[in-house]
Amino acid sequence: MPPTNISAISNPSRQGASSWRDPSNISGIKIKCYRVKISSQYRQFDTD
């Protein structure tokens, strides 16, 4: 998953790659990625 897509979704404002360098935002981005992975797994279970 490209970081540009995540930063655009989480931060529509013009922060860009600087938001990734900010330690306070990294944890939030990791949590969002983790939730996306979990939701995709649940979708796979639903289709089975």
Distances (CA, A) of 4 to 29, 34, 41, 47: 12, 17, 23, 30
Read off the pTM: 0.23
Torsion, Cα 38 39 43 48, to 10 degrees, reads: 20
**Per-residue pLDDT of the chain in tens (48 residues, 90 and over written 9):** 555 555 455 544 544 555 455 555 666 666 665 667 766 776 665 554
